[in-house]
Structure 1
Amino acid sequence: MNEDDHEIEDLQREVAGLLLEYVYAPLLEDQHVRGVLPAPEGAPAVRVALGDRDECVPSRLTMYEIPLGAGDELRTSHDVVALLRAAHTGTHIYPSDRVTSVMGMDLYVVDPANLEEAPFTTHDWVSALLRCLARPPDGRRETGLRGFLFTAGGLLRLYLDSADVRGVVGADVRPGGALTALLAALPSLLGREWRTPDTLDDPHCRYVVDLTGW
């Protein structure tokens, strides 16, 4: 097995892991993920079945095959979600060679060139942030996620610990913006003296760092 095959396998695992959260929470409107399958014969693609929550009857499910390659690069798992949402939204015309059936389900082979990827949503942003803090992709854990709370004004309070600070520190963030930059900066920001007033009514942390403008 060559390096490209390993990368495809890793990405298929990553996509399956990401799509787990849409089994019970809808991917869009009333559509839930009812299956994630590696494309057969080692093809560089994933197949995703969508349908109503708890639906198992094949004829009531729709499956999409999403290619994982984008030129010389691979798509990310979030790219796959964006294409999946776009494919299932609105009316799309598929040539006959891209429509078939498998295991009793209609199968549509998606051509990304004919789709405009759906935007990265606030839900996606929050989910990615919490997942990266709880399970760092590289295994390193400079900050540990001890909890979280959605608060007024569309903010998210993170409860974090770190080897560089004592106890649990809260961090208020506003979903959106540069997620990668925030994740990289969090360890160094937790110890700064940007604190809420002494009247802070939150017994779950020592103080709160205001990162809403980050």
Structure 2
Amino acid sequence: MHEEIAEQQADVTRLLLHHVQAPLAGAQYIRGILPVPAPAEAVRVVTGAEASDTPEQLTAYEVPLRADSDLLTAYGIVGILRTLLTRTRIYSSDSISTVMGMTLVSVDPTSVDPAACTPDDNALTILRCIAHPFTEERPDPRLRGFLFLDQDRLRLYLDTEDIPGVIGADVRPSGAVTALLAALPSLITEEERMTADATDPHCSCLVDLTHW
């Protein structure tokens, strides 16, 4: 059951990546997708204005990944978030908290009428399926989420068959990206690089690759 949710978190991340550059709704972009640790079956989608990267500028929406016995798809999550981001909504106090300094909103999907897919959404689905057809082969490491921490610090949430749990890896987008991507699978498994980050509940250990 845990692997099913882990795979769904990875799929949501993969399918929503383009909203880092393309608005999700209005002037709101996706600035992070956080894999909620087991046993919870949820994902946290972080939104904010373009290039926002400080906690006070961001809001995280925690969305359950299962409705009854069915898994909620990335497209369903987009529809829910578009409704929340474009309509005035009053939240109860017990649905608001904080995580990593950000406002965290717990979403009840049954109380939200999701926005319909747009023609551009459907066009992207067609193009993506042709350009990158689905494969059952699991990438290793697998991207479970990400978060922009500042203008030149991006945290990747990864898992690998060699290490239990989720690994947080901090990288510099302005760095030597090609070399980093080639070395990443081995770098994240080096135990001497691993530290803990008590402020981040989404990873079991952290690897700082910003100076690599």
- TM-score bracket for this pair, using the shorter chain length: 0.5 to 0.7
* Aligned residues with identical type, % of pairs: 43
Letter in 2 for 1:110: V
**Whose RCO is larger (CA < 8 A, sep 6+)?**
2
Contact 1:87 1:110 in 2 (8 A): no
TM-score (norm 1): 0.61
User: How far has the Cα of 1:138 moved from its partner?
Assistant: 3.5
Contact 2:2 2:38 in 1 (8 A): no
User: How far has the Cα of 1:19 moved from its partner?
Assistant: 1.3
Mapped partners of 1:36, 1:61: distance in 2: 12
Give the structure 1 partner of residue 74 of structure 2: 77
Unpaired runs of 5+ in structure 1? Answer: 140-214
User: How far has the Cα of 1:104 moved from its partner?
Assistant: 1.1
Q: In the alignment, is residue 118 of structure 1 matched against residue 115 of structure 2? A: yes
User: How far has the Cα of 1:114 moved from its partner?
Assistant: 1.2
1:129 to 126, 145, 153: 126
Give the structure 1 partner of residue 86 of structure 2: 89
Mapped partners of 1:88, 1:65: distance in 2: 14
Give the structure 2 partner of residue 35 of structure 1: 32
- Runs of 4 or more consecutive aligned structure 1 residues displaced over 4 Å after TM superposition: none
Write the deviation string for residues 152-182 of structure 1: whole angstroms up to 9, x where unpaired.
Answer: xxxxxxxxxxxxxxxxxxxxxxxxxxxxxxx
Larger Rg: 1
Contact 1:47 1:65 in 2 (8 A): yes
Q: In the alignment, is residue 46 of structure 1 matched against residue 40 of structure 2? A: no
Contact 1:66 1:84 in 2 (8 A): no
Instruction: Report the RMSD for the aligned CA atoms in angstroms.
Output: 1.5
Q: In the alignment, is residue 68 of structure 1 matched against residue 65 of structure 2? A: yes
Q: In the alignment, is residue 16 of structure 1 matched against residue 16 of structure 2? A: no
Write the deviation string for residues 131-159 of structure 1: whole angstroms up to 9, x where unpaired.
Answer: 111111146xxxxxxxxxxxxxxxxxxxx
Q: Indicate the SS of the match to 1:26.
A: coil
Provide the aligned length of Structure 1 versus Structure 2: 137
User: How far has the Cα of 1:15 moved from its partner?
Assistant: 0.4
TM-score (norm 2): 0.62
Q: Indicate the SS of the match to 1:131.
A: helix
